C-alpha cells in the first residue's frame, strides 16, 4: 500500500480512497466495481437541486443531396459544473458533453474537426460502421494547428497524421442507433475523455420514425459519467501516472449531461431515455424509486446497435463504460408534483443518487410503444470461423493484455475476411467491458448459458465480470483496413488492452 503510494505521483489529490492496496472492489450479484476513487476537495451540491439539461444539437454548416457537413472545434473552456467554481474542460466546441449530432441513415456526414487543444487528438465514432481511415485508430493523430508535428510516426508508419483540421466521413449505412463520439488517442484516452471529449451522435431512420416512439422534447439522451473535483474546481485525474497500475479512475460525483445529480422537470407522458455510460471505469446498476407511488419499470427498446426486436421490461439494468441502453419510461399515470428517482445500486455514498424526475405538467401524449420494433437478424453461425480473445492482467509488465500481448500497432491480432461469420469466445479474469469497432455483434451465450436480457439486440460493448466468458457472433462488412477490439475501461485501454483487427476482402 505505502509502496504504491510512494511510486505514484499524487498530483494534488488530498486522498485516494484505495482499499487494501488493490483499489476499491465490491461485489454485488456478479457485477463488480473496480477502480481508484479520487475524493472531491470542495463542497458538493445537494443531489437533485440543479436543473437537468440536454446537450445542444449541432446544426450542419451546409447540406447537399447526399451529405451533411458539420464543423467542430476541440477547445479548452471554463464551465461551471459545481456551483461557485469554474472547471477547465476540453470540449468539442468547448462544451461538455459535446454537441449532439443528429444523423440520418444513408446520408453521409462529413465532420471537420479542428484541434485547438494543446495536444494531438483522435476522434472515434463509437458504434459507427465507418471506413477505417475515419475510424480513429489510436495513432491516427490530429495535431493542433501551429504545433510541431511529425509527418510520419516512426513507431507506426501506417499512421495517418494530420495537422490543424481533419475531415471524418461517416456514411451511416446502419440502422437508427444511439452512438457517441469521443477521443481515442493511444495512451491518453482516459485523461482526455475525463476532461470532457465525449458527445452523442444519434442516427435516425424511417423504421424508427414509423413506430410512434416518444420524440423531440420527449427523447432525452442522458450521458452518465463520474468525476472528482479539486478545491479550485478542476477535474482530478490520476489514472495514468508512470508505474501506477491503474484499475480504472472513479469519481465521487455522478454527472448526467455534465450536471451533478440533476433534477429534470417533466410532463406526465412517455419519455425515451437513451442512457450512455461515458464513464472511464464506473459501472452503474440503474433502478427507479417512486417517491409518491410505485415506480414504473424501464422498458428497454434498444441497445448499442439500435432497436430491439421487441420491447422488454427491466426492473433494473447494468450499464458499463461504452454501453448504451435505450429505454422508454411511461410517466403518463403520474400527477403533477410526483417524483421519481434513479439510483445506482452499485454505488456507495455519493455515487448512489443519479437523477430525479419531477412531474410539473400534464400533456396529451400521442406516443406509443409498439409490440414489434425492428427486425434484428439472427446471425447464421453454421459455417463460422472461431477465434478467442482472452483479457488478462500482467502486473509485471504494467499492462493489461489481450491474448497475452499488449497493444502494438505494428502487429495484426486478427485478420478477418469481410462477410465471413465469426464466433468469438471472450474470456477474462477481471472486470472488462469489451468493445469491438466497425460492426455490432450478437451475444450467443454467457458462461455457457443463454445471454442476459440486456445482451439482446446488437451490441458493440459487452461487460464481462471476473472469470466470465461469452460467445459472440459477428460478421464484418464493407470496409477494409485497421480496426480495434479493446477494453473500454479507459485506464485498461490506455495500459495497452487493445488489439488490432484487420479486415480484408
Question: How many CB atoms are located within 10 Å of the residue 456 CB?
Answer: 17
**How many residues bind ligand C2O, per CB under 6 A?**
10
State the DSSP string of 53-80: --PPBPPPSEE-SSEEEEEEEEEEEEE-
Contact between 492 and Cu ion by CB under 5 A: the answer reads yes
Contact between 402 and Cu ion by CB under 5 A: the answer reads no
Q: Taking the CA atoms of 82, 87, 91 and 94 in sequence, report the sign of the dihedral they define.
A: positive
Contact between 484 and ligand C2O by CB under 6 A: the answer reads yes
Among 185, 274, 486, 492, the residue binding ligand C2O under the rule CB under 6 A is: 486
> Of these partners, ligand C2O, Cu ion, none, which one is at the site of residue 105 (CB under 5 to 8 Å by kind)?
none
Residue 186: all three cell numbers together? 493511444
* Lateral strand order in the sheet of 414-417: 414-417, 498-504, 481-487, 432-436, 461-464
> Of these partners, Cu ion, ligand C2O, none, which one is at the site of residue 435 (CB under 5 to 8 Å by kind)?
ligand C2O
Among residues 308 and 484, whose Cβ is nearest to ligand C2O?
484
Contact between 489 and Cu ion by CB under 5 A: the answer reads yes
Residue 283: all three cell numbers together? 459501472
**Which residue has its beta carbon closest to ligand C2O?**
126
Among residues 40 and 100, whose Cβ is nearest to ligand C2O?
100
Minimum distance between the CB of residue 363 and ligand C2O, rounded to whole angstroms? Answer: 36
Q: Which of residues 372-391 bind ligand C2O (CB under 6 A)?
A: none
Contact between 437 and ligand C2O by CB under 6 A: the answer reads yes
- Is 286 within 8 Å of 279 (Cβ atoms)? no
Q: How far apart are the first and last CA of the chain?
A: 51
Q: Give Cα separations from 335 to 90, 228, 269, 355 (angstroms).
A: 41, 36, 10, 19
Contact between 126 and ligand C2O by CB under 6 A: the answer reads yes
Q: Which of residues 181-240 bind ligand C2O (CB under 6 A)?
A: 182, 184
Residue environment code for 281-318, b if the CB has 16+ CB neighbours within 10 A, otherwise e: bbbbbbbbeeeeeebbebbbbbbbbbbbebbbebeebb
> Of these partners, ligand C2O, Cu ion, none, which one is at the site of residue 124 (CB under 5 to 8 Å by kind)?
ligand C2O
Contact between 322 and ligand C2O by CB under 6 A: the answer reads yes
The interface region with ligand C2O, picked from 300-308, 354-362, 410-418, 480-488 by CB under 6 A, is 480-488
Rg of the Cα atoms in the chain: 22
- Is 262 within 8 Å of 52 (Cβ atoms)? yes
Question: Which residue bears the cell 460467445?
Answer: 471
Contact between 341 and Cu ion by CB under 5 A: the answer reads no
Contact between 435 and ligand C2O by CB under 6 A: the answer reads yes
Question: How many CB atoms are located within 10 Å of the residue 151 CB?
Answer: 7
> Of these partners, ligand C2O, Cu ion, none, which one is at the site of residue 272 (CB under 5 to 8 Å by kind)?
none
Contact between 305 and ligand C2O by CB under 6 A: the answer reads no
Catalog residues that contact Cu ion under the rule CB under 5 A.
432, 487, 489, 492
Catalog residues that contact ligand C2O under the rule CB under 6 A.
124, 126, 182, 184, 322, 435, 437, 484, 486, 488
Amino acid at each position: 500500500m505505502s509502496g504504491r503510494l510512494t511510486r505514484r505521483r499524487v498530483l494534488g489529490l488530498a486522498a485516494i480512497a484505495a482499499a487494501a492496496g488493490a483499489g476499491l472492489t465490491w461485489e454485488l450479484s456478479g457485477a463488480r466495481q473496480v477502480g481508484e476513487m479520487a475524493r472531491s476537495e470542495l463542497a458538493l451540491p445537494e443531489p437533485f437541486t440543479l436543473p437537468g439539461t440536454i446537450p445542444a444539437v449541432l446544426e450542419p454548416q451546409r447540406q447537399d443531396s447526399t451529405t451533411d457537413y458539420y464543423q467542430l472545434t476541440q477547445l479548452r473552456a471554463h464551465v461551471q459544473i459545481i456551483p461557485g467554481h469554474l472547471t477547465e474542460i476540453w470540449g468539442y466546441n468547448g462544451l461538455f458533453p459535446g454537441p449532439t449530432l443528429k444523423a440520418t441513415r444513408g446520408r453521409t456526414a462529413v465532420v471537420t474537426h479542428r484541434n485547438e487543444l494543446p495536444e494531438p487528438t483522435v476522434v472515434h465514432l463509437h458504434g459507427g460502421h465507418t471506413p477505417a481511415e475515419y475510424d480513429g485508430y489510436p495513432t491516427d493523430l490530429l495535431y493542433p494547428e501551429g504545433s510541431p508535428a511529425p509527418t510520419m510516426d516512426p513507431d507506426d508508419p501506417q499512421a495517418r497524421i494530420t495537422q490543424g483540421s481533419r475531415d471524418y466521413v461517416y456514411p451511416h449505412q446502419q440502422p437508427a442507433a444511439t452512438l457517441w463520439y469521443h477521443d481515442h488517442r493511444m495512451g491518453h484516452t482516459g485523461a482526455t475523455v475525463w476532461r470532457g471529449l465525449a458527445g452523442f451522435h444519434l442516427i435516425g431512420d424511417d423504421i424508427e420514425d414509423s413506430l410512434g416512439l416518444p420524440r423531440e422534447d420527449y427523447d432525452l439522451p442522458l450521458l452518465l459519467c463520474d468525476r472528482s473535483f479539486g478545491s479550485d474546481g478542476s477535474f482530478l485525474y490520476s489514472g495514468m501516472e508512470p508505474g501506477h497500475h491503474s484499475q480504472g479512475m472513479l469519481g465521487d460525483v455522478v454527472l448526467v449531461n455534465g450536471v451533478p445529480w440533476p433534477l429534470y422537470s417533466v410532463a406526465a407522458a412517455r419519455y425515451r431515455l437513451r442512457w450512455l455510460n461515458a464513464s472511464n471505469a464506473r459501472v452503474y446498476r440503474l433502478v427507479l424509486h417512486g417517491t409518491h407511488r410505485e415506480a414504473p419499470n424501464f422498458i428497454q427498446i434498444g441497445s448499442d446497435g439500435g432497436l430491439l426486436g421487441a420491447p422488454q421490461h427491466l426492473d433494473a439494468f447494468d450499464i458499463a463504460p461504452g454501453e448504451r441502453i435505450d429505454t422508454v419510461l411511461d410517466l403518463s399515470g403520474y400527477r403533477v408534483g410526483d417524483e421519481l428517482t434513479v439510483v445506482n445500486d452499485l454505488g456507495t455514498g455519493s455515487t448512489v443518487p443519479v437523477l430525479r424526475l419531477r412531474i410539473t405538467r400534464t400533456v396529451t401524449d400521442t406516443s406509443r410503444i409498439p409490440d414489434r420494433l425492428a427486425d434484428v437478424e439472427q446471425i447464421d453461425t453454421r459455417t463460422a470461423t472461431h477465434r478467442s480473445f482472452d483479457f488478462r492482467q500482467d502486473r509485471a509488465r504494467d499492462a493489461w493484455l489481450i491474448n497475452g500481448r499488449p497493444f502494438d500497432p505494428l502487429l495484426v491480432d486478427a485478420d478477418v475476411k469481410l462477410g465471413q461469420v465469426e464466433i468469438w469466445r471472450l474470456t477474462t479474469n477481471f472486470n472488462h467491458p469489451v468493445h469491438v469497432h466497425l460492426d455490432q455483434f450478437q451475444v450467443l451465450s454467457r458462461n455457457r448459458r443463454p445471454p442476459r436480457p440486456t445482451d439482446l439486440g446488437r451490441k458493440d460493448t459487452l461487460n464481462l465480470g471476473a472469470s466470465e466468458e461469452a460467445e459472440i457472433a459477428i460478421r464484418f462488412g464493407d470496409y477494409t483496413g485497421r480496426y480495434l477490439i479493446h477494453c473500454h475501461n479507459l485506464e485498461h485501454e490506455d495500459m495497452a488492452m487493445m488489439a488490432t483487427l484487420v479486415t480484408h476482402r
